[in-house]
Protein backbone atom coordinates (compact mmCIF):
# COMPACT_ATOMS: atom_id res chain seq x y z
CA UNK A 1 0.00 0.00 0.00
CA UNK A 2 1.26 3.48 -0.85
CA UNK A 3 1.72 5.39 2.39
CA UNK A 4 0.79 9.05 2.73
CA UNK A 5 2.63 9.07 6.06
CA UNK A 6 6.18 9.04 4.79
CA UNK A 7 9.49 10.87 4.62
CA UNK A 8 11.64 11.37 1.55
CA UNK A 9 15.13 12.79 1.84
CA UNK A 10 17.44 13.59 -1.06
CA UNK A 11 20.24 16.12 -0.72
CA UNK A 12 21.43 16.20 -4.34
CA UNK A 13 20.91 19.03 -6.81
CA UNK A 14 20.72 18.17 -10.49
CA UNK A 15 22.21 20.31 -13.27
CA UNK A 16 21.56 19.06 -16.78
CA UNK A 17 22.32 20.35 -20.26
CA UNK A 18 24.80 22.58 -22.03
CA UNK A 19 26.83 24.85 -19.73
CA UNK A 20 25.84 22.71 -16.73
CA UNK A 21 29.54 22.61 -15.76
CA UNK A 22 29.54 26.37 -15.35
CA UNK A 23 27.09 25.99 -12.48
CA UNK A 24 29.70 24.22 -10.33
CA UNK A 25 31.85 27.27 -9.46
CA UNK A 26 28.71 29.21 -8.60
CA UNK A 27 27.66 26.44 -6.22
CA UNK A 28 31.14 26.22 -4.71
CA UNK A 29 31.22 29.97 -4.17
CA UNK A 30 28.05 29.67 -2.11
CA UNK A 31 29.79 27.07 0.05
CA UNK A 32 33.06 29.09 0.33
CA UNK A 33 34.94 26.26 -1.40
CA UNK A 34 37.84 27.43 -3.57
CA UNK A 35 40.27 24.54 -3.88
CA UNK A 36 38.70 21.47 -5.57
CA UNK A 37 40.34 18.09 -5.98
CA UNK A 38 39.30 16.42 -9.23
CA UNK A 39 39.36 12.63 -9.12
CA UNK A 40 39.04 10.61 -12.30
CA UNK A 41 40.26 7.51 -14.14
CA UNK A 42 43.10 7.09 -16.60
CA UNK A 43 40.69 6.24 -19.41
CA UNK A 44 39.04 9.68 -19.32
CA UNK A 45 40.42 11.68 -22.27
CA UNK A 46 42.48 14.73 -21.39
CA UNK A 47 40.15 16.94 -23.42
CA UNK A 48 37.30 16.12 -21.02
CA UNK A 49 39.41 17.12 -18.03
CA UNK A 50 40.40 20.31 -19.86
CA UNK A 51 36.75 21.13 -20.55
CA UNK A 52 36.02 20.78 -16.84
CA UNK A 53 39.00 22.92 -15.86
CA UNK A 54 38.03 25.61 -18.38
CA UNK A 55 34.67 25.95 -16.64
CA UNK A 56 36.62 27.23 -13.63
CA UNK A 57 39.12 29.41 -15.48
CA UNK A 58 37.62 32.69 -14.29
CA UNK A 59 37.17 31.54 -10.71
CA UNK A 60 40.24 29.56 -9.64
CA UNK A 61 43.95 29.76 -10.16
CA UNK A 62 44.68 26.10 -9.51
CA UNK A 63 42.92 22.73 -9.59
CA UNK A 64 44.52 19.52 -8.33
CA UNK A 65 43.81 16.35 -10.29
CA UNK A 66 44.09 12.69 -9.27
CA UNK A 67 43.76 10.42 -12.31
CA UNK A 68 44.22 6.85 -11.04
CA UNK A 69 40.86 5.92 -9.50
CA UNK A 70 40.45 2.12 -9.86
CA UNK A 71 37.39 0.39 -11.25
CA UNK A 72 36.50 -0.96 -7.78
CA UNK A 73 35.94 1.15 -4.66
CA UNK A 74 38.87 -0.08 -2.59
CA UNK A 75 40.25 1.02 0.77
CA UNK A 76 43.83 1.53 -0.41
CA UNK A 77 42.97 4.09 -3.08
CA UNK A 78 40.43 5.79 -0.81
CA UNK A 79 43.11 6.47 1.79
CA UNK A 80 45.62 7.57 -0.86
CA UNK A 81 43.21 10.11 -2.32
CA UNK A 82 42.20 11.36 1.13
CA UNK A 83 45.90 11.95 1.88
CA UNK A 84 46.30 14.00 -1.31
CA UNK A 85 43.16 15.94 -0.46
CA UNK A 86 44.61 16.93 2.92
CA UNK A 87 48.12 17.63 1.58
CA UNK A 88 46.85 19.99 -1.11
CA UNK A 89 44.46 21.81 1.20
CA UNK A 90 41.47 20.84 -0.91
CA UNK A 91 38.02 21.76 0.35
CA UNK A 92 35.75 19.92 -2.09
CA UNK A 93 35.74 16.93 -4.46
CA UNK A 94 34.78 16.78 -8.15
CA UNK A 95 34.29 13.14 -9.22
CA UNK A 96 34.63 12.94 -13.01
CA UNK A 97 33.88 9.60 -14.65
CA UNK A 98 31.90 6.42 -14.22
CA UNK A 99 30.19 4.93 -11.21
CA UNK A 100 33.33 3.72 -9.42
CA UNK A 101 34.81 7.24 -9.50
CA UNK A 102 31.70 8.75 -7.95
CA UNK A 103 31.48 5.95 -5.39
CA UNK A 104 35.15 6.46 -4.51
CA UNK A 105 34.45 10.17 -4.10
CA UNK A 106 31.71 9.34 -1.61
CA UNK A 107 34.11 7.18 0.40
CA UNK A 108 36.91 9.77 0.31
CA UNK A 109 34.44 12.40 1.48
CA UNK A 110 33.80 10.38 4.62
CA UNK A 111 37.49 10.32 5.52
CA UNK A 112 38.14 14.01 4.87
CA UNK A 113 34.90 15.14 6.51
CA UNK A 114 35.25 12.94 9.58
CA UNK A 115 39.00 13.35 10.28
CA UNK A 116 40.18 10.00 8.97
CA UNK A 117 37.37 7.87 10.36
CA UNK A 118 37.60 4.09 10.01
CA UNK A 119 35.24 3.18 7.18
CA UNK A 120 34.65 -0.36 8.42
CA UNK A 121 33.60 0.94 11.82
CA UNK A 122 30.97 3.03 10.06
CA UNK A 123 29.41 0.15 8.11
CA UNK A 124 25.69 -0.27 8.49
CA UNK A 125 22.81 2.14 8.36
CA UNK A 126 22.82 5.80 9.47
CA UNK A 127 26.15 5.69 11.29
CA UNK A 128 27.27 9.06 9.87
CA UNK A 129 26.37 12.41 11.43
CA UNK A 130 27.31 16.04 11.10
CA UNK A 131 28.22 17.77 7.83
CA UNK A 132 30.12 16.62 4.74
CA UNK A 133 32.41 18.46 2.33
CA UNK A 134 30.97 19.42 -1.08
CA UNK A 135 31.02 16.52 -3.54
CA UNK A 136 30.07 16.99 -7.19
CA UNK A 137 29.43 13.99 -9.44
CA UNK A 138 30.13 14.53 -13.14
CA UNK A 139 29.18 11.38 -15.11
CA UNK A 140 30.85 10.78 -18.47
CA UNK A 141 28.68 7.98 -19.80
CA UNK A 142 25.51 6.04 -19.18
CA UNK A 143 26.13 3.85 -16.16
CA UNK A 144 24.64 1.49 -13.62
CA UNK A 145 25.05 1.19 -9.90
CA UNK A 146 23.83 3.49 -7.16
CA UNK A 147 26.30 6.33 -7.63
CA UNK A 148 24.13 9.14 -6.29
CA UNK A 149 22.25 7.03 -3.80
CA UNK A 150 22.73 6.81 -0.05
CA UNK A 151 24.48 3.42 -0.34
CA UNK A 152 28.19 2.71 -0.63
CA UNK A 153 29.99 -0.62 -1.02
CA UNK A 154 33.70 -0.72 -0.12
CA UNK A 155 36.11 -3.52 -1.08
CA UNK A 156 38.74 -4.22 1.58
CA UNK A 157 40.60 -6.86 -0.46
CA UNK A 158 39.32 -9.79 1.59
CA UNK A 159 35.67 -8.85 1.67
CA UNK A 160 33.31 -5.94 1.13
CA UNK A 161 30.95 -4.00 3.35
CA UNK A 162 28.12 -1.47 3.00
CA UNK A 163 27.46 1.96 4.41
CA UNK A 164 24.03 3.56 4.14
CA UNK A 165 23.37 7.22 4.93
CA UNK A 166 21.71 10.19 3.29
CA UNK A 167 24.95 12.08 4.02
CA UNK A 168 26.64 10.00 1.30
CA UNK A 169 24.55 11.64 -1.41
CA UNK A 170 26.59 14.03 -3.59
CA UNK A 171 25.99 17.75 -3.29
CA UNK A 172 25.09 17.83 -6.97
CA UNK A 173 25.11 15.74 -10.13
CA UNK A 174 26.14 17.55 -13.32
CA UNK A 175 25.23 15.98 -16.68
CA UNK A 176 26.70 18.07 -19.48
CA UNK A 177 26.72 16.79 -23.11
CA UNK A 178 30.30 18.07 -23.48
CA UNK A 179 31.46 15.48 -20.95
CA UNK A 180 29.75 12.47 -22.50
CA UNK A 181 31.77 9.56 -23.88
CA UNK A 182 30.09 7.36 -26.48
CA UNK A 183 29.39 3.92 -25.07
CA UNK A 184 28.72 0.65 -26.81
CA UNK A 185 25.18 -0.62 -27.34
CA UNK A 186 25.72 -3.11 -24.53
CA UNK A 187 26.86 -0.42 -22.09
CA UNK A 188 23.86 1.77 -22.86
CA UNK A 189 21.53 -1.23 -22.63
CA UNK A 190 22.95 -2.05 -19.21
CA UNK A 191 22.36 1.50 -18.04
CA UNK A 192 18.76 1.43 -19.27
CA UNK A 193 18.18 -1.95 -17.61
CA UNK A 194 19.51 -0.54 -14.34
CA UNK A 195 17.28 2.52 -14.66
CA UNK A 196 14.21 0.39 -15.42
CA UNK A 197 14.85 -1.73 -12.36
CA UNK A 198 15.37 1.19 -10.00
CA UNK A 199 12.38 3.16 -11.27
CA UNK A 200 9.94 0.23 -11.28
CA UNK A 201 11.19 -1.11 -7.94
CA UNK A 202 10.72 2.35 -6.41
CA UNK A 203 7.23 2.70 -7.90
CA UNK A 204 5.85 -0.77 -7.17
CA UNK A 205 7.82 -1.99 -4.13
CA UNK A 206 6.65 -1.83 -0.50
CA UNK A 207 8.56 1.43 0.21
CA UNK A 208 6.82 3.34 -2.59
CA UNK A 209 5.49 6.77 -1.78
CA UNK A 210 4.18 9.71 -3.81
CA UNK A 211 7.62 11.30 -4.23
CA UNK A 212 9.45 8.12 -5.26
CA UNK A 213 6.65 7.39 -7.74
CA UNK A 214 6.97 10.88 -9.23
CA UNK A 215 10.71 10.43 -9.84
CA UNK A 216 10.08 6.95 -11.25
CA UNK A 217 7.42 8.25 -13.61
CA UNK A 218 9.77 10.99 -14.89
CA UNK A 219 12.55 8.44 -15.44
CA UNK A 220 10.30 6.03 -17.35
CA UNK A 221 8.86 8.86 -19.42
CA UNK A 222 12.39 9.82 -20.49
CA UNK A 223 13.38 6.23 -21.24
CA UNK A 224 10.18 5.59 -23.16
CA UNK A 225 10.96 8.53 -25.44
CA UNK A 226 14.67 7.81 -25.89
CA UNK A 227 14.97 4.02 -25.86
CA UNK A 228 15.02 3.20 -29.55
CA UNK A 229 17.07 6.25 -30.55
CA UNK A 230 19.64 5.72 -27.79
CA UNK A 231 20.79 2.33 -29.07
CA UNK A 232 20.88 3.44 -32.70
CA UNK A 233 22.62 6.79 -32.14
CA UNK A 234 25.23 5.91 -29.53
CA UNK A 235 27.52 8.76 -30.60
CA UNK A 236 24.91 11.46 -30.02
CA UNK A 237 26.23 13.20 -26.90
CA UNK A 238 23.05 15.07 -26.06
CA UNK A 239 21.04 11.87 -26.33
CA UNK A 240 23.48 10.08 -24.05
CA UNK A 241 23.28 12.94 -21.57
CA UNK A 242 19.50 12.45 -21.45
CA UNK A 243 19.98 8.72 -20.81
CA UNK A 244 22.36 9.59 -17.96
CA UNK A 245 19.76 12.04 -16.67
CA UNK A 246 17.16 9.24 -16.66
CA UNK A 247 19.63 7.13 -14.69
CA UNK A 248 19.98 9.94 -12.16
CA UNK A 249 16.19 10.21 -11.85
CA UNK A 250 15.98 6.45 -11.23
CA UNK A 251 18.64 6.78 -8.53
CA UNK A 252 16.58 9.52 -6.92
CA UNK A 253 13.44 7.39 -7.18
CA UNK A 254 14.99 4.45 -5.34
CA UNK A 255 17.15 6.52 -2.99
CA UNK A 256 14.79 6.07 -0.05
CA UNK A 257 14.04 2.40 -0.73
CA UNK A 258 15.37 -0.13 1.75
CA UNK A 259 12.92 -3.03 1.41
CA UNK A 260 11.31 -5.20 -1.21
CA UNK A 261 11.82 -8.39 -3.20
CA UNK A 262 13.64 -6.75 -6.11
CA UNK A 263 15.80 -4.69 -3.77
CA UNK A 264 16.68 -7.80 -1.74
CA UNK A 265 17.64 -9.79 -4.87
CA UNK A 266 19.74 -6.91 -6.20
CA UNK A 267 21.53 -6.44 -2.90
CA UNK A 268 22.23 -10.18 -2.55
CA UNK A 269 23.70 -10.33 -6.07
CA UNK A 270 25.86 -7.28 -5.33
CA UNK A 271 27.05 -8.74 -2.05
CA UNK A 272 27.87 -12.17 -3.43
CA UNK A 273 29.32 -11.19 -6.79
CA UNK A 274 30.78 -7.73 -6.11
CA UNK A 275 28.93 -6.52 -9.21
CA UNK A 276 26.06 -4.04 -9.63
CA UNK A 277 22.94 -6.07 -8.89
CA UNK A 278 20.58 -3.65 -10.59
CA UNK A 279 21.41 -4.89 -14.11
CA UNK A 280 20.65 -8.62 -13.66
CA UNK A 281 17.68 -7.82 -11.45
CA UNK A 282 16.43 -5.56 -14.24
CA UNK A 283 16.21 -8.66 -16.44
CA UNK A 284 14.02 -10.26 -13.77
CA UNK A 285 11.54 -7.39 -13.52
CA UNK A 286 8.61 -9.08 -15.32
CA UNK A 287 8.57 -11.99 -12.86
CA UNK A 288 8.86 -9.65 -9.88
CA UNK A 289 5.99 -7.57 -11.27
CA UNK A 290 3.83 -10.67 -11.78
CA UNK A 291 4.22 -11.54 -8.10
CA UNK A 292 3.25 -8.01 -7.10
CA UNK A 293 0.34 -7.88 -9.55
CA UNK A 294 -1.64 -10.04 -7.14
CA UNK A 295 -1.92 -7.01 -4.83
CA UNK A 296 -4.67 -4.60 -5.86
CA UNK A 297 -2.75 -1.39 -5.12
CA UNK A 298 0.32 -2.66 -6.97
CA UNK A 299 -1.98 -3.32 -9.91
CA UNK A 300 -3.11 0.29 -9.77
CA UNK A 301 0.47 1.57 -9.82
CA UNK A 302 1.44 -0.77 -12.65
CA UNK A 303 -1.54 0.51 -14.61
CA UNK A 304 -0.26 4.07 -14.24
CA UNK A 305 3.21 3.08 -15.47
CA UNK A 306 1.75 2.16 -18.85
CA UNK A 307 1.43 5.88 -19.64
CA UNK A 308 5.18 6.75 -19.54
CA UNK A 309 6.24 3.38 -20.94
CA UNK A 310 3.86 3.14 -23.90
CA UNK A 311 2.60 6.68 -24.44
CA UNK A 312 -0.77 8.41 -24.11
CA UNK A 313 -2.43 6.82 -27.15
CA UNK A 314 -1.78 3.25 -25.99
CA UNK A 315 -2.73 4.15 -22.43
CA UNK A 316 -6.01 5.76 -23.46
CA UNK A 317 -7.00 2.92 -25.78
CA UNK A 318 -6.30 0.18 -23.20
CA UNK A 319 -9.18 -0.71 -20.84
CA UNK A 320 -8.28 0.12 -17.24
CA UNK A 321 -8.59 -3.53 -16.18
CA UNK A 322 -6.01 -4.55 -18.81
CA UNK A 323 -3.41 -1.88 -18.07
CA UNK A 324 -1.42 -3.77 -15.40
CA UNK A 325 -1.06 -6.76 -17.72
CA UNK A 326 -0.14 -4.53 -20.66
CA UNK A 327 2.48 -2.75 -18.51
CA UNK A 328 4.14 -6.08 -17.74
CA UNK A 329 4.04 -7.02 -21.43
CA UNK A 330 5.64 -3.69 -22.33
CA UNK A 331 8.41 -4.24 -19.78
CA UNK A 332 8.94 -7.77 -21.13
CA UNK A 333 9.31 -6.44 -24.68
CA UNK A 334 11.71 -3.70 -23.58
CA UNK A 335 13.88 -6.16 -21.70
CA UNK A 336 13.87 -8.63 -24.60
CA UNK A 337 15.06 -5.79 -26.84
CA UNK A 338 17.78 -4.74 -24.38
CA UNK A 339 18.96 -8.32 -23.79
CA UNK A 340 19.90 -8.65 -27.45
CA UNK A 341 21.84 -5.39 -27.64
CA UNK A 342 25.42 -5.82 -28.73
CA UNK A 343 27.16 -8.96 -29.87
CA UNK A 344 26.07 -11.31 -27.08
CA UNK A 345 22.72 -11.59 -25.32
CA UNK A 346 22.81 -10.90 -21.59
CA UNK A 347 22.81 -13.93 -19.31
CA UNK A 348 23.38 -14.16 -15.58
CA UNK A 349 26.74 -15.78 -16.24
CA UNK A 350 28.12 -13.18 -18.64
CA UNK A 351 26.88 -10.44 -16.32
CA UNK A 352 29.22 -11.87 -13.69
CA UNK A 353 26.91 -13.95 -11.49
CA UNK A 354 28.82 -17.07 -10.56
CA UNK A 355 26.78 -18.13 -7.51
CA UNK A 356 24.10 -20.76 -8.02
CA UNK A 357 20.48 -19.61 -8.06
CA UNK A 358 19.69 -21.79 -5.05
CA UNK A 359 22.38 -20.04 -3.01
CA UNK A 360 21.06 -16.61 -3.98
CA UNK A 361 17.43 -17.58 -3.28
CA UNK A 362 18.25 -18.87 0.20
CA UNK A 363 20.20 -15.70 1.00
CA UNK A 364 17.28 -13.53 -0.15
CA UNK A 365 14.79 -15.39 2.02
CA UNK A 366 17.13 -15.20 5.02
CA UNK A 367 17.35 -11.42 4.57
CA UNK A 368 13.94 -10.82 6.12
CA UNK A 369 14.96 -7.30 7.15
CA UNK A 370 15.45 -6.22 3.52
CA UNK A 371 12.34 -8.02 2.29
CA UNK A 372 10.38 -6.03 4.84
CA UNK A 373 6.62 -6.33 4.51
CA UNK A 374 6.89 -8.07 1.15
CA UNK A 375 6.62 -11.81 1.55
CA UNK A 376 8.02 -14.34 -0.89
CA UNK A 377 8.79 -18.03 -0.78
CA UNK A 378 12.06 -19.59 -1.82
CA UNK A 379 10.19 -21.19 -4.71
CA UNK A 380 9.01 -17.77 -5.92
CA UNK A 381 12.51 -16.34 -5.72
CA UNK A 382 13.82 -19.30 -7.70
CA UNK A 383 11.19 -18.64 -10.36
CA UNK A 384 12.39 -15.02 -10.56
CA UNK A 385 16.04 -16.06 -10.87
CA UNK A 386 15.31 -18.83 -13.37
CA UNK A 387 13.42 -16.41 -15.62
CA UNK A 388 16.83 -15.23 -16.91
CA UNK A 389 19.03 -17.71 -18.81
| Residue 173 resides in a domain | yes
On whether both 80 and 121 belong to a single domain, the answer is: yes
- Give the model's pLDDT for residue 57: 74
Same-domain pairing of 155 and 235: no
Are 374 and 265 members of one domain?
yes
One domain for residues 140 and 192: no
Mean pLDDT of the chain: 87
- Residues 205-261: pLDDT tens digits? 988 999 999 999 999 988 876 665 556 666 777 777 778 888 888 988 998 888 899
Q: Are residues 91 and 167 in the same domain?
A: yes
| 104 and 167 inside one domain | yes
* 252 Cβ contact partners less than 8 Å away, ≥ 6 residues apart: 10, 12, 14, 148, 215
Beta strands (DSSP E) in the chain are: 13-16, 36-39, 64-66, 92-97, 124-125, 135-139, 151-155, 160-164, 172-175
**Does residue 109 carry a pLDDT above 90?**
yes
Q: What pTM was estimated for this model as a whole?
A: 0.85
pLDDT of residue 227: 64
6 in a domain, yes or no?
Answer: no
Q: Is residue 112 part of a domain?
A: yes
Whether 340 maps to a domain, the answer reads yes
DSSP code at position 387: T
> For 185-220, what is each residue's pLDDT tens digit?
888 888 889 999 999 999 999 889 999 999 999 999
Q: Residue 43 pLDDT > 60, yes or no?
A: yes
Per-residue pLDDT at 81:
97
119: left (phi over 0), alpha (psi -120 to 50) or beta: alpha
Q: How many domains does the chain have?
A: 2
Cα Rg, the chain, nearest whole Å: 20
Q: Are residues 129 and 193 in the same domain?
A: no
Residue in 262, 260, 309 with CA at minimum distance from that of residue 284 = 262
pLDDT of residue 88: 94
Residue 241 covered by a domain: yes
Q: Contact 201/260 with Cβ under 8 angstroms?
A: yes
State whether 380 and 279 are in the same domain: yes
Q: Quick check: 331 and 200 in contact, CB under 8 A?
A: yes
Average pLDDT of the segment spanning 13-26: 90
49 to 40, 109, 174, 175, 235: CA distances (angstroms): 9, 21, 14, 14, 19
Domain membership of residue 4 (yes or no) is no
State in Å, rounded, how far the first CA of the chain is from the last one.
32
Question: Can you give the residue range of the structural domain that contains 173?
Answer: 13-179
pLDDT tens digits for range 114-160: 987 889 899 888 899 999 999 999 988 766 555 777 888 888 777 77
Same domain for 192 and 166, yes or no, is: no
pLDDT score for 380: 94
Residues 152 and 209 in one domain: no
Task: Give the closest residue to 180 by CA, choosing from 227, 104, 242.
Answer: 242
Asked if residue 5 belongs to a domain, the reply is no
Can you give the CATH number for the domain in which 346 is found?
1.20.1090.10
Residue 274 backbone zone (phi > 0: left; psi -120 to 50: alpha; other: beta): left
Per-residue model confidence (pLDDT) at position 274: 67
Q: What is the predicted pLDDT for the residue at 95?
A: 95
* Residue 273 within any structural domain of the chain: yes
Task: Give the residue from 179, 209, 242 where a domain finishes.
Answer: 179
The CA–CA distances, whole Å, from 237 to 15, 86, 288 equal: 16, 35, 33
Query: What pLDDT is recorded for position 244?
Result: 81
**pLDDT over threshold 90, residue 163:** no
User: Rounded to 5, what percent of the chain is helix, strand, coil?
Assistant: 55, 10, 35
Is 170 in the same domain as 239? no
CATH assignment of the domain containing 104: 3.40.50.1970
Q: Please check whether residues 174 and 212 belong to one and the same domain.
A: no
Q: Which of 114, 149, 179 is the last residue of a domain?
A: 179
Over residues 338-347, mean pLDDT: 83
Domain closes at, from 179, 212, 238: 179
User: Is the Cα torsion angle 280, 281, 287, 290 positive or negative in sign?
Assistant: negative
Amino acid sequence: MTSWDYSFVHKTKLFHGRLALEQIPVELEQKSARNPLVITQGNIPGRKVKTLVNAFSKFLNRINIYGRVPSVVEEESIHEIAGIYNETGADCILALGEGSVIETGKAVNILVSKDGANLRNLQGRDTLSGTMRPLFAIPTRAQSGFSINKSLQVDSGNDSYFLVSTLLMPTAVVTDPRMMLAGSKQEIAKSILASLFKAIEAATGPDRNPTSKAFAHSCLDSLGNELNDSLENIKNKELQARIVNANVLSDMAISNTSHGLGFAISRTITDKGNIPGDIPTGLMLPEIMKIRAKESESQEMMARLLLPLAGPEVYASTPSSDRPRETIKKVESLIAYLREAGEEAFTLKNLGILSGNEDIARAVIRDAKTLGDETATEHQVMDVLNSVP
